[in-house]
Amino acid sequence: MEKDNRIDNPTTENNEIHEIHETPVNPKQEEQVLQGESELQAEPAYMDPETVYETAAEPASEELPETAKPQSRKVVKKKKKKKRKKNPNWLARLFVLAIFIAIVIAVLHIDYFTVDEINVTGNDYLTEKQVLKGSKIKTGENIFDIHIMIEKSKLSKNPYIDDIKIHRKLPNIINVEVTEPVGMAQFQVGTSKKYAVTDNEGTVLEVATTQRQIVLISGIVVNEAEVGSKIGLRKGQDKVFDQMMELVRVTDENDMFFKKIEVADGRVTAYVFDGLKAKGTIRNVTDSLESGTLRTVVYDLYQKDVKKGTINVSADNYCSFTKK
């Protein structure tokens, strides 16, 4: 019996031998395919009806291109709106807040906060009563019932007040700081018995029927005066008016006061008292006031109780006194 030397090989029905060719696989592509299959296997059996699934479209051919990557399914879940729970304690909280506010108001209105002192400073022309006229600032009022901005608005309407500041000093003091216009003067209106009071810019603050405690300037003719408007002067007197207002301003700034100033032909006669006066050009008198020379001379005469005579003011701040 002959030995069968044939080798067992897999055959088909036609005894044809087929060679098996292994196609090389890209490691990255193989890893991605395995990952996609694991995600599909991990897919839950039960699907929430509110869950929407979006599946990437598959290519028509069975074979995937080498560059194609398997796409996993994306799960998009709809967010459920959370309903706010009503707080049943809001009425209780509101009640507690109302009680707290009532207690605070009651405490602030005890006698401890009743105003019993008012200090007014900076008022040289106006009296304290004139400064506070028409306001709610007075003793006996609760300090918190005095509204600072409202009272400041009221008092600022006074034409003789340039600026005003109001401060509370707890528990019961109100401080009022007044700034009055600098360089005010009054002029007789025509031949009438009316007097126009102006600030240093010539704006009419008041038209009075009697003289005020402000320097009276004579020698400048006023044709018309209306509160809030510029004073109406005779033609050609604008320059001398500006010179006189500068003189009045310098007088105020150097703590001097003249009852009356007469001006004519560029020269002035300024009355310290009814009998004591200073004479000179507008420029010389202004310069002597700015340097303080005239003030020193007047103070020296006042110390000697001299209330009558003439101070002659020359150039270079030179002053001489005569008893005439």
Q: Return the closest-CA partner of residue 32 out of 58, 70, 73.
A: 70
Q: List the end-to-end C-alpha distance of the chain, in Å, as a whole number.
A: 180
Q: Which CATH class is domain 111-179?
A: alpha beta
Q: Cα dist. 44→34, 36, 39, 48, 82 in Å? A: 18, 15, 10, 10, 26
From 80-94, 185-199, 270-284, 289-303, the region with the lowest mean pLDDT:
80-94
Q: Which two tokens stand for residue 270?
A: 């300024």
Token match 């200090």: residue? 119
Structural domain boundaries in the chain:
111-179, 254-324
What integer best gives the mean pLDDT of the chain? Answer: 81
In angstroms, the CA 280 to CA 278 distance is 7
Whether 15 shows a pLDDT value over 70: the answer reads no
Instruction: Please write the tens of the pLDDT for every residue from 148-160.
Output: 999 999 999 999 9
Instruction: Please write the tens of the pLDDT for every residue from 215-235.
Output: 999 999 999 999 999 999 999
DSSP string, 227-272: TTSB-EE-TT-HHHHHHHHHHHHHHHHTT---SEEEEETTEEEEES
Contact 175, 148 (CB under 8 A): no
